[in-house]
Chains A and B, each alone.
Chain A
């Protein structure tokens, strides 16, 4: 009777790739699941972007133009939830699925069925969330922060919001478990921790953050659910509860969440800049320690989001100073990226252009974050458009440009074809110009006192709002180039070899382009690993 291994042997000549819908619904292959995550993220990016353009349409002129205030608040709430949980986080998980096995010399993710499950939760979660637009009372409108008691006034969509958040959290936790277990158990022999590419390192640290904070969000929304339906008063002052407690719990999740959204971008920028500078990354170990320090500090700064609720002076000082401390490891990273480029042989292909824009514009977002960290200044800026400008500089030219840099960097590897570089360069310049037209004026509006989350405003804010809206429409429309470039590349183009970029290092570039269905069926040799880990 043949043993399982004897049975497997005659089939080694083909890859058992399933076909048709089964390939996607029953997918256990890391590349297929990665592709599904990325496609899902792209769809959510355009739905969330559509909501953003409606917001900018309403804000083009003062006065109520198109929407009633309740619907406007639904748009801002849903825009945030969709972009954070539907667009950026799944994009990182998609990139992790594609790249971590290929970069660590593993054949696949450690838990392929769990991987399938954690992806397929997401379409159900977002169908539930988006369908809340059509229930009595409309979609949630209390802000993505879901502060009680306001959020407890949400209509029929309240349980849909809570359940969808639970589903998204479960998906993220399962994905994070998979990433940690893969990196810790599936690396090829010889792929030591300090030989791992920075993208793998940043994702490992991100996964630890996810495990620590997503359950905290789940706990917070579970308590909201019981307050709403089962008569508990966790956050209801009338019953002895404390609404400020919710803010503490939420931001204990919420601040590390910011780093969950940005750390993998640090990893990608640390891959792209050395490739197009044709130099090893400056200070590899310092970069690893800087990311770990940022992750640690992210747990002890949460109350800077809520200085104005009133807290003891000592607490204000602690949270102000700990927040400012984050500038140190972040500065280490920015200077190391700059030092990597110093005297390098630079070239400016689309991934490098997005990485450079990231470097400049994320730093602007970092500096406005430092301004917000100062308690007396924060009392002025709190709940103004200055905050909106700050976090959009961190998340759009930060996280989203990081995703775009990663996709433009690895797309030729995934498809085996080079994409239309000219069109991708157009995509970059339109994005880089209009993201500033969109968000930079919001600093001025905030400093002048325009509050956030309002559908109407005083007439003196009109001019900069018009500029911002024009930037928003142009930025939004220019993003249509992104899926078009990808679609054309998937369909064909100029064939590339193993290495799409002359200066690229790393195990993924040792595999053929496109890579085989199972990545490293035989672990790479130590010499190959050493060649890839040229930092």
Chain B
């Protein structure tokens, strides 16, 4: 493994796969959070319409 000199320079060729996994999983969890946010508002709306 390459020595790390800076957080921004960490994406050495060998770690590109990991960078992709990091980005994808961060995006996935952000979308899950967004889904919780919207679904609770939607749930309250639907309940109000009944």
Contact = CB atoms under 8 A, between A and B. Distances in A.
Interface of A: 4-5, 8, 11-12, 15-16, 28-29, 107-108, 110-112, 114, 173, 176-178, 180-181, 184-186, 211-216, 218-220, 222-223, 233-234, 240-242, 245, 249, 252, 518, 521-523
Contacts of B7: 28-29, 108, 112, 518
A223 B2 CA distance: 49
A245 B47 contact: yes
Contacts, number: 101
Contact of B21 (A185, A222, A234): A185
Contacts of B44: 219, 223, 234, 245, 249
Q: Which 8 A-B pairs rank lowest in CB-CB distance, beginning with the nearest?
A: A215-B37, A215-B36, A219-B40, A112-B7, A28-B7, A107-B4, A521-B4, A177-B29
Interface string B14-35: 0000100110011001101111
11 contacts: A8-B5, A28-B8, A108-B10, A111-B26, A114-B26, A177-B26, A177-B29, A181-B22, A249-B44, A252-B40, A521-B3
B47 A211 contact: no
A215 B31 CA distance: 11
A5, A212, A215: most-surrounded residue (chain B CB, <10 A): A215
**A interface, by DSSP: helix, strand, loop or mixed?**
helix
A389 to B, nearest CB: 32
Interface of B: 1-10, 12-13, 18, 21-22, 25-26, 29-30, 32-38, 40-41, 44-45, 47-48
Nearest to A3: B13
Nearest to B50: A240
A222 B29 contact: no
B2 to A, nearest CB: 7
Nearest to A519: B4
Nearest to B30: A177
Contact of B9 (A4, A214, A223, A249): A4
Contacts of B10: 107-108
A5 B1 contact: no
B18 to A, nearest CB: 6
Given A212-B36, A219-B40, A240-B48, 7 more contacts: A5-B2, A5-B12, A110-B26, A181-B25, A185-B22, A216-B37, A518-B5
B7 to A, nearest CB: 4
Nearest to A115: B7
A3 to B, nearest CB: 9
A219 B41 contact: yes
Contact of A16 (B2, B6, B26, B48): B6
A222 B1 CA distance: 46
Contacts of B40: 215-216, 219-220, 249, 252
A82 to B, nearest CB: 24
